[in-house]
Structure formats: C-alpha cells, structure tokens
Amino acid sequence: MCGIVGFIGTEQAAPILLDGLQRLEYRGYDSAGIAVLSGERELQVKKSKGRLKVLSDIINGGKSVEGTIGIGHTRWATHGEPNDINAHPHLSGNGKIAVVHNGIIENYVELRDFLRSKGYEFRSETDTEVVTQLIAYYYEECGSCLEAVFRVLRRIEGAYALGILCADEPEHFIAARKDAPLLIGYGEGCNFIASDVTAIIKHTRDVSYMEDGEVAVVSKDGVEFYNSLEQPITKEHHTIDWDVSAAEKGGYAHFMLKEIMEQPEAIRKTAFSRIKDNRVFFEDLKIDADYISSINKIYIVACGSSYHVGVVGKYNLERMLRKPVEVCLASEFRYCDPLVDPRSLVIVISQSGETLDTMAALREAKALGAHILSIVNVVGSSIARESDDVLYTWAGPEIAVATTKAYSTQLVLLNMLGLYFGDILGTVSQEEYACIMNELLRLPAKMEQMLENTEDIKHFASNYFNHDSVFFIGRNLDYAMGLEGSLKLKEISYIHSEAYASGELKHGTISLIEDGTLVVALGTYSALFDKAMSNVVEVQARGADVLAVTTESHAAEMRKTVGNVIAVPNTHTIFQPSLGVVPLQLFAYYVALLRGCDIDKPRNLAKSVTVE
Ligand code: M6R
C-alpha cells in the first residue's frame, strides 16, 4: 500500500526521496510524488500517475528540484482514481502546507464541508487534501505548524501516517501516526521518516518506531516527540540488524525467485536458533505450562497466505494438542462477535505485522481477554508491539508481493509451537517428538535438493501457461496447501484459479471440469493418498488435464494414472506442506514469467495491506 519517506539534512533531498520511494515500490502503488522546500521557502510539488520512473524522468532523477528538506509518497488509490491530481503530496490552497498520508480519514466529508463553508476549495477527490487544508486553516489561526497539527489530530477520525511540510518552517517537518506504520531514522546531520525501514536502511539502521497518537518534529540535528496528550516524550532507539543486500535482487530476475530460493536458509534461521539439545526452546515466551494447560481453545487469525498457514496449522495443531483450533479470516473475525475469553489463545500470523484487518482482530481478541501470541516477520511492527507474546520469523525482508519465504517460515514456526505445546501437554509422545525433530532438522536440506532442479517445473509451466482456469484439489493438508498454491498462481499470473477440498468437487464444482481443464492434483498427504487417486480418476474421466504433486514414495503409483507428476521428498506429515508448496510457488512464478506479468508487483495488489 502507500509508502512514505521524508528527509531533512544538508544533501539535496529529491534524489534521496526518489531512492527511498523506489525501495518502497514493492508495496504496490499507482502514482508517486514528492514535495521539497526550496531555499526561497517555496514548496515544490512534483507528482505523477504511474511508475516512479515517470516522476523521476520529469525531475531528472531529482536533480532539478532544489532543497534539503522534503517528503515523498507512493499512492495506492482509495479515495479517487489514480491520477496526477489525486497523487500525494497535497498542497494547501495558500501553498504553505504539503502533506503525504497513508491510511483513511473517515470523517473527511464532514471536515471538507466545514472547510468549504469557510471558503476553501478542493482540487482532488482525496481525504488527504482535506487534512492538508485543515492544517492550513489552523495554521492561519495560530501561526505554528505543530500547534495546527495538534488541532487537526483532535478532529480527524480514522487511520493515518502523516508527513507534513510547512513553507514557513524550513528547519523541520512534522510526522504523526495512528493505526498506520511510521518510523524515524536517525542519520549523521540528517534525519528521516519512513513507513517501512526498507526506504531508509541504506542511510541508517538507528530507528524509533512511532506509536499511535504520537507526533514528531524532525529537524536535521534532532527529533522531538510528543505523545497523544501533546506532552514531550523521549523514545527508545532500535537497531535494524539486516543488510541492505537482503532487500536487493542479488542477480535474480525477480525478488520472488530470490525469495523462493532463500527459503531453506530462512527456515534454518527461524527454526534452528530455537532448538537446543534437540528440543524446541522459546526463550522469550511469556506463557507457561499452567497457562498452556488451561487453554480451552486456540484461534488462528490472519489474512491471505498467512491465513493459509493457519489452515495447515489447524490440522497439525489439533492432531498434536487434541484441543480445538479454529482458523479465522481476520477481516471476518472482528465482526463475528467471537466467542473468545481469557482461556482462549489467539495466534495472530502476519508477515508485515501491519495488516489492518489482522491488527483490528488482534485488538478485538485482546479486549475480550485472550492471550495474543503473534508470528510476525517485521521486527517492531504494530502487531508485534501489541501482542502479549511474539515469535519472529527470521525470513529477512520480503519484497515480492507474493509471499514465499515468509509463508514457509510461518509454517515451520507454527509447527514448532505445536510441538512445544504438545510436549508440555503430554499429547506428543517422546518417540513422535524425536521423529518430528529429526525431520525438522533435515527440512532445509530437502528443500535445497528440490530447488536445485527446477527444469521439470519450467517444462510444466510452458505446457500450461496459456490456460485460463485452474483447479487445485486435495484433501486435509493437501487442501490447505492447495489454497496457497492457487493464490500464488492467481495473484501473479492473473489466471483464474480455485482450490477445492477434493471431496467437495462432486457437490457442485465438478460441473466446471471439461476437456482440457487443468487440475493440479495434490497427493502428498499419505494417509489419504488412495482417496486422492480416486479424485484424480474422477476428474480425468471428465476430460481434465492433470498435473499431480505427490511424494517420492507415491510417485510411481501416481505415474500409472497421470503423465505429469512432480515428486517431492518425503518428510514427517506435519512438514509435508512445507515441501509440497515449493513446486507450486515455482509453477506460479514460471507461468507468470511466460505470460509477461509484473511478477514482483502484481496489478491491484500491495505488500502490506493497511486499509480495511
Ligand atoms: O503481512 P500479512 O502476512 O499480514 O499479509 C497478509 C496477506 O495480505 C498476504 O499474505 C497476501 O495474501 C500475500 N501477499 C499473498 O502472497
């Protein structure tokens, strides 16, 4: 979704802003812009629809915009179509105030009416322009941008991360946050704001995360912070410990391919650092054995691929813990009056840690007294900070919109949590524990073995890339894995695709199978392999062209019926989806490549979904 970057220092701001915005491109956007304050106290606003390159070309890579203080934005349209006028920054009618904004101002219509009644006119259809003009209105009254911002924050409702420049105050800009991520980066003789650390990691690793209701006044030599009561506060500094190269392509054609290839290492980092003497060891977990025993129900709450991790988790956790596990879409959970109580453990899963629906579900569950344990990739993100317990996936920055390594590390971590709880509850025998641990330790190497040879998958992709509809079918863990395989394919290749629990086909969907329909049949779940075979035969009888994914031990059997078979190494049942999903990710990638799609930045999608 939208990205924000701001800079103040002694260097020319515009090239730094463009570079920061380029690093935020992966979040998804449809227009971009910057506002820079010149030495003559003139706010220069440059913005344009489309890719950042268009803007960069207009301003000669930023060189033609003078000034050492500025704010920039990539916009993912919510209010008003993507065009030059609706792009941020927005400039007040008197030219004094420029604003970039992530989030949605819910009462903007009422505020716009108020300003119109005072003679203000609006150029765009955005809620952000209303904030800009309201700051200008109060600024006219009080002559201080900070005071004007405080007054505006008292009036606006909704979510925001704001960067605000005032033409009369060239020594600083102002930042404010509520329900949308924003951080401060500290440089040498310069300072930054960013919605995502990726934008500024090249310049600094020293950051502070803004909390809801906080305001920052950012000057070149320091930053002043205020809390929601408008009182001065000091903020903790955090050090970002990953490298710039982790957010670069490193020779791969796309981030997605790089991130698929990084999965074995990401799993090693996530899992192996939590194993001591062949036991799972969660150093910082606050919940103890008594609490774990008292849990009456586990909820797993997430969106998209993280939700799909939860679907796998439901099968595996129920099996290991013999406790009920419900997996919920975060966007539904918050509105379904959930039956959560203090004996409920709510596991929240999110790569970005900023997904608004997931965040809202977390708050709902917390208010009902549940213990919140989150599995998050981005350190210091909002979800991580509001949870009672956090387990970080150490996947490193994930840039491609389509998640791969975050999904894989979430999956492994959730299984480890199940194993850890199962050990405490006595529902996983020591023999089973040892067997799972043994397979966990071998998982990255098995994945590496699969990633060494992708020729088969490229070949299948070239056979099928021009299909316009695909069904993924499977039972139990294969169904859960199919959900993710199907999402990967549709989001980056734009092929219509659906995942079905195979047993459900005959209740309606099988009517869609006709001559040549591609069915990706998943048969890695050993306990139901025979039933998976029956479903394969069923769809073949109706003309389906089947591509099967199964384990090495079942491949020969599958090949008796299906010509196109992908075999994945055998592992413990709970980890089978971790291996099975890899060819599905690669298949989606190569299909999208052959279709000429914008793989890392698929249309209409954003990496971090910070609106409802
Ligand atoms: O950051 P989150 O894990 O909370 O994001 C949730 C979904 O938006 C995300 O998993 C999305 O479905 C993926 N980008 C799909 O590949």
Give the model confidence (pLDDT) of 437-469 as tens digits.
999 999 999 999 999 999 999 999 999 999 999
Between the CA of residue 325 and those of 317, 370, 570, what are the distances in Å? 7, 14, 26
- DSSP SS3 for 506: helix
Average pLDDT of the residues in 225-229: 97
pLDDT tens digits, one per residue of 150-201: 999 999 999 999 999 999 999 999 999 998 889 999 999 999 999 989 899 9
**How far is the centre of ligand 1, averaged over its atoms, from the C-alpha of 146 (Å)?**
36
Among 1, 198, 305, name the best residue to mutate to test ligand 1's pocket (greatest count of ligand atoms within 8 A of Cβ). Answer: 305
Which atom of ligand 1 lies closest to the CA of 606? 14
The confidence score (pLDDT) of residue 56 equals: 95
Which atom of ligand 1 lies closest to the CA of 383? 4
* Closest Cα to atom 11 of ligand 1: 304
**How far is the centre of ligand 1, averaged over its atoms, from the C-alpha of 232 (Å)?**
36
The confidence score (pLDDT) of residue 77 equals: 80
* Closest Cα to atom 4 of ligand 1: 350
pLDDT reading at 108 higher than 80: yes
* Closest Cα to atom 12 of ligand 1: 304
Tell me the two tokens of residue 447. Answer: 């994945």
At 374, give phi and psi (nearest 5°).
-110, 150
Tell me the two tokens of residue 173. Answer: 């800009």
pLDDT tens digits, one per residue of 166-179: 999 999 999 999 98
**How far is the centre of ligand 1, averaged over its atoms, from the C-alpha of 333 (Å)?**
16
* Closest Cα to atom 15 of ligand 1: 402
Average pLDDT of the residues in 270-292: 93
Average pLDDT of the residues in 352-373: 95
Q: For the whole model, what pTM was predicted?
A: 0.81
Q: How would DSSP label each residue in 73-136?
A: EEE--SSS-SSTTTSSPEE-TTS-EEEEEES-BTTHHHHHHHHHHTT---SSS-HHHHHHHHHH
The confidence score (pLDDT) of residue 251 equals: 85
> What amino acid occupies position 228?
S
Active site residues: 2, 607
**How far is the centre of ligand 1, averaged over its atoms, from the C-alpha of 305 (Å)?**
5
Which atom of ligand 1 lies closest to the CA of 607? 14
- DSSP SS3 for 69: strand
Tell me the two tokens of residue 371. Answer: 């213990």
pLDDT tens digits, one per residue of 470-517: 999 999 999 999 999 999 999 999 999 999 999 998 898 889 999 999
**How far is the centre of ligand 1, averaged over its atoms, from the C-alpha of 307 (Å)?**
8
**How far is the centre of ligand 1, averaged over its atoms, from the C-alpha of 579 (Å)?**
20
DSSP run (H or E) holding 458: helix 455-464
pLDDT tens digits, one per residue of 376-407: 999 888 899 999 999 999 999 899 999 999 99
> What amino acid occupies position 252?
Y
- DSSP SS3 for 166: strand
Among 307, 347, 352, 381, name the best residue to mutate to test ligand 1's pocket (greatest count of ligand atoms within 8 A of Cβ). Answer: 352
> What amino acid occupies position 306?
S
* Closest Cα to atom 16 of ligand 1: 402
- Report residues whose beta carbon is within 6 angstroms of any ligand 1 atom: 303-306, 350-352, 355, 358, 401-403, 487, 491, 608-609
Among 351, 359, 404, name the best residue to mutate to test ligand 1's pocket (greatest count of ligand atoms within 8 A of Cβ). Answer: 351
* Closest Cα to atom 8 of ligand 1: 304
Which atom of ligand 1 lies closest to the CA of 402? 16
pLDDT bin (cut points 50, 70, 90) of residue 248 is: confident
Among 259, 609, 611, 612, name the best residue to mutate to test ligand 1's pocket (greatest count of ligand atoms within 8 A of Cβ). Answer: 609
